[in-house]
Amino acid sequence: MATDATATFEDSDSEEVPLPSVDQKYLSDTKFAEFKISPDSKRALAEVLKYERCSLVQAASIPVCLGPDDVIAKAKTGTGKTLAFIIPTIEKVLANRAPRGKVSALVLSPTRELARQIQTETHKMLTYHPGLHSMVVYGGVDVKKNLRALVQKTPDILIATPGRCWDIMTQAHDRSLTTVLDSTRVLVLDEADNLLDMGFRPQISKILSALPPTTQRQTFLFSATFPGDVKSLADVALKRKHSYVDAVGEDVATHEHVEASSLVVAKRDVMLQLLCLLAQHMAEEPDYKVMVFLPTANLTAMFAEAFSSAGLGGVIEIHSRKSQSYRDKASADFRAGKRLVMFSSDVSARGVDYPGVSYVVQCGAPANREQYIHRAGRTGRAGRAGQCTLLLSDFERPFLNKLGDLPIKQLEPLALPLAAGGAALGPALVRDPAGALARAVEKADYESRARAYQSFLGYYKSHAVIKTRPEQIVAHANEYAAELLACPTPPGLLAKTVGKMGLKGVAGLVIVKEGQQNRPPSGAGRSGGPNNGGGGDREYSDHDPNRKRSRSAGGGDFQQDGGRGGRGGSGGRGGGRGGGGGGGGGGGGRGGGERPPSAAALEQQYHHNGAGWDQPSGGRPYSGGGGGGRGYQGQPQGARGGGRGGGRGRRP
């Protein structure tokens, strides 16, 4: 055995990740021994990987990739696609190796998990190839470590995430590394659709500019789906003349073995209905293994924290906000375990195979039809039946129009005894599911809720299917924050963040200064009463030296000296009056103005005329009323301080 066919991981203590198994239904009658590849590659396939028959994807792709043409291959996860491009890549490197100190083949992967998986298979394939060397690099570790490894021994095959690949080329002090790709013979774009979904187009374009022209290299582009942006990438990355392999077939094939359903509910009911769906499946499938997909990493983190804190057992979360070591362990636990619920932000789980998934819930509208199909295909594998439910908020209903030709059953909101979920549901969750979830969300760190709000805004502002006015997107986000994230006032955003979202000047957003984002509003009342009514529980404030909870009940009684009166809540004609400070505390904040219009109100106020939208009549919401007065110094507990809010607010 050759000893120098080595693998280099970011962490020297890292172990090779388990290889995904290929479902029997994807195996072909073609044997690897029939391919015109080197004896050492055949030996590795037989003795190390212990493969005899190849998959349908491999049977269709390998012969074409061994030829001279660039190749576009439509293939999904779990079908053996990694070997479909790694075997030809190795053969190409053997036949035409780049000069010393140059990378012969570059494989770009969208996620760290998938990159590590590709490296594992490549390393095994290189077992009997003396002198060939592969390396994997990805973000999350010091880039200097990558630079040192590349200087010490440049790999023949470099597997990388686009961001880290570009970091290496731009941060290298050694000039040889800035040109390390200028002799590359083979480029592989794996999960091309996901590469673009994650926003890697700028980095990929720069990397392409550092590679030899298309006439001097061969390119393999593998993708489960082919939306327009993938096709445009193919136009610049591949030669005009290229071969095409389709190993996926029609979309409806997924639904032949997956029982698909959809459920549309109000925003405030999303978490509770998700819990009901999970409990129902747990009762039907004792050895359940569930994947819950959410649109963003921050929403994933928020939901996972809430459900775990509320008492749901077996919760696992995988998303980009978790460290690599955490994600590796979580992935291994989910792959090997049962009676688990994984909350994932799609991009982290994509490309990694998880056997035995019994149920998939897509909570929130996927980015497009192709992503829905891909997620649904996570279940119903290896000859097993699977279930998939698309859980949408009412404003996301238009997404169903993209799935009209698929056999998807529409469900009604569930109301089942949660005790049916068994031991996985804690006592509080069974006794009072809505209350347990609400308390869990309120207990969550405010920064987590604020990040979830911001990511909600960003995701739906740019959604390709759910197209609506910016004012309505903001209104939906604010309702989501109030009804689901326990944020009665919208979390503050930086002006530059709002600008990047394309929401500058949109009513309903709260703009704060640098350092104030993701922080709860100081002294803000939890809820507002009608005109001249009181605010609710105040949030903790830096002005409260004892960190004790005070009340702002219309400037009424307080429980702690030194507390600060709460802010009068918004709502009604003039908002609540500011609460008075007890025992020398500061006076209450300003009474709130009229509550910003809801998404439903905006729907009614804006009238579609067939060519555009007419502005509603009337002015902007009213500003807040006046603040409450300061409590008297030295007054005993329970002193009544502060005045009423200043009546009805004025128009801006």
| Residue range 284-312, pLDDT digits in tens | 898 999 999 999 999 999 999 999 999 99
Poorest-pLDDT segment among 59-68, 292-301, 352-361, 523-532: 523-532
pTM above threshold 0.85: no
Domain hosting 142: range is 24-247
Complete DSSP assignment for 75-114: --TTSSHHHHHHHHHHHHHHHSPPPTTS-SEEEE-SSHHH
Q: What is the CA radius of gyration of the chain?
A: 29
Q: What CA–CA distances, in Å, run from 154 to 103, 118, 121, 135?
A: 7, 18, 19, 8
CATH number at residue 191: 3.40.50.300
Mean pLDDT of the chain: 77
pLDDT higher than 50, residue 496: yes
Residues 326 and 360 in one domain: yes
Q: Is 574 exposed, middle or buried (CB count within 10 Å of its CB: 0-12, 13-18, 19+)? A: buried
Choose one of 396, 426, 456: the last residue of a domain.
Answer: 426
Residue 339 structure tokens: 């009676």
pLDDT greater at residue 442 or residue 326:
442
Q: How confident is the model at residue 444 (pLDDT cuts 50, 70, 90)?
A: very high
Same domain, 87 and 197: yes
Query: Within this chain, do residues 59 and 193 fall inside the same structural domain, yes or no?
Result: yes
C-beta neighbour count of 218 within 10 angstroms: 24
Instruction: Name the pLDDT band for 574 (thresholds 50, 70, 90).
Output: very low
- Exposed, middle or buried: residue 196 (CB in 10 Å: 0-12, 13-18, 19+)? buried
Candidate from 257-261, 370-374, 499-503 with smallest mean pLDDT: 370-374
Worst-scoring range by mean pLDDT, 236-250, 253-267, 333-347, 517-531?
Answer: 517-531
* Percentage of the chain lying above the pLDDT 70 cut: 71
Is 621 inside any structural domain?
no
At 69 the pLDDT is 93
Are the beta carbons of 346 and 293 closer than 8 angstroms? yes
For residue 573, pLDDT beyond 50: no
- Does the pLDDT at position 609 exceed 50? no
Question: Looking at 213, 228, 247, which one is the last position of a domain?
Answer: 247
In this structure, is residue 545 part of a structural domain?
Answer: no
What is the C-alpha separation between 205 and 334, in angstroms, rounded? Answer: 35
Task: Over range 154-168, report the average pLDDT.
Answer: 94
- Average pLDDT of span 615-634: 37
Q: Are residues 95 and 147 in the same domain?
A: yes
83 within domain boundaries = yes
**Same domain for 64 and 110:** yes
Residue corresponding to tokens 């055995």: 1
Both 186 and 285 in one domain: the answer is no
Check residue 157 and give its pLDDT.
98
Instruction: Choose the final residue of a domain: 196, 212, 247.
Output: 247
CB neighbour class for 576 (10 Å; exposed up to 12, middle 13-18, buried from 19) = buried
> Do the domain assignments include residue 13?
no
Look at residue 156 in the predicted model and tell me its pLDDT: 97
> Is 150 in the same domain as 276?
no
Q: Domain for residue 520, yes or no?
A: no
In a shared domain, residues 407 and 467: no
Based on the fold, state whether residues 353 and 209 are members of the same structural domain. Answer: no
Total domain count for the chain? 3
Q: How far apart are CA 359 and CA 126, in angstroms?
A: 37
Do 65 and 198 sit in the same domain of this protein? yes
Helix, coil or strand: residue 177? helix
Identify the three-state secondary structure at position 15. coil
- According to the model, what pLDDT value does residue 429 have? 87
Residues linked to residue 218 through DSSP beta bridges, in sequence order: 186
| Contacts for 428 with CB less than 8 Å, ≥ 6 apart | 310, 311, 435, 436
Residue 5 lies in a domain: no
Q: Is residue 522 part of a domain?
A: no
Q: What is the pLDDT of residue 184?
A: 96
Give the phi and the psi of residue 392 in degrees, each rounded to 5: -120, 150
Which range scores top for mean pLDDT: 298-302, 521-525, 554-558? 298-302
Residue 533 maps to a domain:
no
User: 320 vs 108, 199, 444, CA distance in Å?
Assistant: 18, 14, 19
Whether 543 and 567 have beta carbons less than 8 Å apart is answered as no
- DSSP 8-class letter at 47: I
The pLDDT value recorded for residue 630 is: 39
Q: For residues 75 and 198, state if they share a domain.
A: yes
Mean pLDDT on 28-54: 93
59 in the same domain as 189: yes
